Amino acid sequence: MPDLPPKAAIAVACNKGGVGKTTLATNLAIYLRALREDLPVAVLSLDDQRSVDRMFALRDPAPGEGNLKHAWAERSLDRVLQLGNYGVHFVPSPPEVALLKARAEDPATLRRILERTHFEGLFVLDTKSDLEALTENALHAADRILVPVADWASLDEAGKTFRALDRGRIAAQRARIVLTLVDRRTRVDGARGLHERLEAEIAARGWPRYATALSRSPRVETLNSGGGRPRSILHHARGTAVHAEMRALAEEVLADLAELLAPADAGARAAVWGRGAAPPRPPLARARATSILEAFRRR
Ligand SMILES: Nc1ncnc2c1ncn2[C@@H]1O[C@H](COP(=O)(O)OP(=O)(O)O)[C@@H](O)[C@H]1O
Ligand SMILES: [Mg+2]
């Protein structure tokens, strides 16, 4: 079996809004790119809030420029992927997701799109705060599903995400809880912090979790709300706890995906797929070289 360049996908998903999905997805992409210069990273949002575009776009969109809606129709990101700020690729967001959602009934659509795309590297998929068709597509396409949990309410919403995985016959072992917006000063019962109690509850439910938790930081809030372009934690909040945490989390993700991200034969890659109730599925396939020729022939 010849060596294959890496191709993998991470989704960030939680039914609850405001838990920091987009902040996590966009900044994680930047840290991963910074830590592994040899690893191309592409961010794709299944939301229409355009935060990803505002963070990564190097210029205003050109008239008629392709976005995710076109890619969905073309079943490939090849035409729409752009190299953006911080060396991170991104897919321009669709003007609104309603139309796309109507074309996403088959939950394997996005997975096939990623497979057919001639981009070798890591895709980071940001999702909307729902468990509807587009989010289901992200869950199906992802090798790892990061589920941010900020409080008890989002813990219940995380439960819904795990049930969605179950319904989609996706191994729960592919999910990772990430504690976010942790207020280190919060004390629920005077003795034990909310953070520790959430950790204990997550362990009791048997959900996989990354060890790194992300603190609530006024600085991060300012980076996102300072008007115009959201700014990266790596470049604009060095020296904060969140910077150290994002770096630690990115290292944890890289270690977790080490086998998927190393050029390896397909057999080794298959071995790292989570073993769960559901049968393991093959890792993201590479687009066949011949499909470039096919694309030319179709023109
Ligand atoms: N670590 C953090 N500290 C403080 N505020 C944060 C942090 N992460 C995200 N936020 C803020 O929380 C709000 C929701 O974040 P966002 O990433 O948009 O969540 P989601 O995508 O889940 O709706 C934003 O105003 C963002 O600036
Ligand atoms: Mg969001």
Q: How remote is the CA of residue 260 from the centroid of ligand 1, in Å?
A: 29
Here the tokens at position 265 are 């034969």
The pLDDT of residue 274: 37
Q: Bridge-partner residues for 11, per DSSP?
A: 125, 145
For ligand 1, atom 17, which residue shows the shortest CA distance?
20
Instruction: Look at strands 8-12 and 144-149 and give their pairing.
Output: parallel
Exposure letters 278-290 (e unless 16+ CB within 10 A, then b): beeeebbebbeee
Domains of the chain: 8-298 (3.40.50.300)
Span 196-201, mean pLDDT?
94
Between strands 89-91 and 82-83, the pairing is antiparallel
Give 184's pLDDT tier (boundaries 50, 70, 90). Answer: confident
Question: What pLDDT, on the 0 to 100 scale, is given for residue 61?
Answer: 87
Write out pLDDT tens, residues 44-88.
Answer: 999 988 999 999 999 998 888 999 999 999 999 999 999 999 999
pLDDT number for residue 206: 96
| pLDDT given at position 294 | 42
Contact 33, 166 (CB under 8 A): no
Query: d(Cα 12, Cα 148) in Å, to the nearest integer?
Result: 8
Q: Kindly indicate the confidence band of residue 291, based on its pLDDT and cuts at 50, 70 and 90.
A: very low
Distance CA 163, CA 157 (A): 10
pLDDT digit string (tens) for 205-230? 999 999 999 999 999 999 988 678 89
Q: Are 178 and 149 in contact (CB under 8 A)?
A: yes
Q: How confident is the model at residue 191 (pLDDT cuts 50, 70, 90)?
A: low
Q: What is the pLDDT of residue 192?
A: 64
Q: How far is CA 87 from the centre of its chain?
A: 17
Task: Output the pTM of the full model.
Answer: 0.88
Percent with pLDDT over 70 in the chain: 84
Closest of 99, 89, 92, 193 to residue 151, by C-alpha: 193
173 has a pLDDT exceeding 50: yes
Q: What is the pLDDT of residues 86-109, one digit of tens each?
A: 999 999 999 889 989 999 999 999
For residue 45, which ligand has an atom nearest its CA?
A: 2
Residue 270, beta-bridge partner list: none
Calculate Rg over the CA atoms of the chain: 19
pLDDT tens per residue, range 135-153: 999 999 999 999 999 999 9
The answer, yes or no, to whether any atom of ligand 1 lies below 6 A from the CB of 213, is no
pLDDT value of position 5: 58
Containing H/E element for 225? Answer: helix 218-225
Length of the chain: 299
Question: Where does the chain show beta strands of DSSP type E?
Answer: 8-12, 41-45, 82-83, 89-91, 122-126, 144-149, 175-179
d(CA 174, CA 180): 19
Split at pLDDT 50, 70, 90, the class of 296 is very low
Q: How far apart are CA 53 and CA 229, in angstroms?
A: 9
Give me ligand 2 centre to Cα 225, in Å: 13
Q: How confident is the model at residue 1 (pLDDT cuts 50, 70, 90)?
A: very low
pLDDT at 283: 65
The CA distances from residue 50 to 67, 111, 189, in Å, are: 11, 22, 40
Q: Which two tokens stand for residue 76?
A: 């490939």
Quick: pLDDT tens for 217-263.
Answer: 999 999 988 678 899 999 999 989 999 999 999 999 999 999 888 86
Residues whose CB falls within 8 Å of the CB of residue 272, separated by 6 or more in sequence, listed in order: 257, 259, 260
Ligand 1 atom with minimal separation from the 47 CA = 21
Q: Indicate the pLDDT class of residue 188, thresholds 50, 70 and 90.
A: low
Alpha carbon nearest to ligand 1 atom 11, residue: 221
| 23 dihedral zone (left: phi>0; alpha: psi -120 to 50; beta) | alpha
| Residue 111 or 294, more confident | 111
Q: What are phi and psi of 193, to 5 degrees?
A: -70, 155
Q: Flag whether pLDDT at 25 surpasses 50.
A: yes
137 CB near ligand 1 (under 6 Å): no
